[in-house]
Amino acid sequence: MSHAHRFFAFLMLFLVFSTEGAVYGHYSAHCQFSSYDGHDAVFLEQVYFNKLLLMQYNSSVGKAVGYTKTAQELADKFNSDESFISHQEWKISLCKSNAPQVYNVPLDLVEPDVWLRSVKVADSRHPAMLICSVYNFYPKQIRVMWLRDGKEATSDVTSTEELPDGNWFYQIHSYLEFTPKPGEKISCVVEHASLMEPKVYDWDPLPDTGMNKIIIGVAGMLLGLVFSVAGLSYYKKKTSGRVVVPTTEAGVYV
């Protein structure tokens, strides 16, 4: 039996003898890595009693460490044991070699929906505020930032937390208070695991939708009205000149 197994046995034995005293222990093993090939994997084993960390093995440290006198004595015993060390090395290699498979597990990445809009604000140094609302993304980790003429804006920026929708998805809202400057380009940038590269949403102060269409429509209608009224009054003038009996009808003049 290897020392690593004795490690477990030690834990279980202690539990059996300590149930009357209600001492609860647990052991955990973690393989932590952030590269696809697992080359940076760290293997971590921890032993707790009554939620107190008594001993741990961290592969970056390369030895067991105890946090009480007895635990340290035990850790020293493990560390001087070659079979313990070689067994730990085997577990670290397992941790590293399994990393790519873990990475290949399909992750449910869901791309966010982004809505960029402006609102007027009272009681602020700045008269305007842009809101970048990011909806329906998974997983939670996300970065939302602002660019002003290509440079990241850090002042006058606030944000909510990532808010769980209760259906696996999250939403987050970032706020930028600003004083509009002609020609300034403002964008909201979203970085998320579902996106191959950060997605940039440019703020368009005069979007060619809604209000603009109404303004153009109303202006066109007014122009048409002006011409028709002018034409009508011109026609009336001309015709009234030929009429012998003056009419009581009032002409419309512009």
Ligand X SMILES: *[C@@H]1O[C@H](CO)[C@@H](O)[C@H](O)[C@H]1NC(C)=O
Q: Residue 246 in 3-state DSSP?
A: coil
Report in angstroms how near the CB of residue 56 gets to ligand X at its nearest: 7
Cβ-contact 204, 120 below 8 angstroms = no
Closest distance to ligand X from the beta carbon of 62 (Å): 9
Residue 166 has which token pair?
Answer: 């209760």
Of 28 and 160, CB closest to ligand X: 28
Minimal distance, residue 136 CB to ligand X, in Å: 33
Alpha helices in the chain (DSSP H): 3-18, 69-79, 82-104, 211-242
Smallest separation, CB 18 to ligand X (Å): 26
* Of 62 and 198, CB closest to ligand X: 62
- Whole-number Å distance between alpha carbons of 253 and 229: 7
What Å distances lie between residue 101 and 92, 97, 189, 247, CA to CA?
A: 15, 8, 31, 96
Is 42 or 131 the residue whose CB approaches ligand X more closely?
A: 42
Please state the closest distance from residue 89 (CB atom) to ligand X, in A. 16
Cα-atom radius of gyration of the chain, to the nearest Å? Answer: 36
How many whole angstroms separate alpha carbon 96 and alpha carbon 116? 42
Which amino acid would we find at residue 84?
F
Task: Specify the residue, 58 or 72, whose C-beta has the smaller distance to ligand X.
Answer: 58
Q: How far is the CB of 29 from ligand X (least distance, A)?
A: 12
Considering the complex, state which of residue 45 and residue 49 has its C-beta at the smaller distance from ligand X.
Answer: 45
Which residues of this chain interact with ligand X, rule CB under 6 A? 42, 44, 58, 60-61
Query: Do residues 98 and 31 lie in contact, with contact meaning Cβ atoms separated by under 8 Å?
Result: yes
Count other Cβ atoms within 10 Å, centred on residue 135.
15
Q: Given the complex with ligand X, which of 44 and 114 has the nearer CB atom?
A: 44
Tokens representing residue 196 in the block: 């191959």
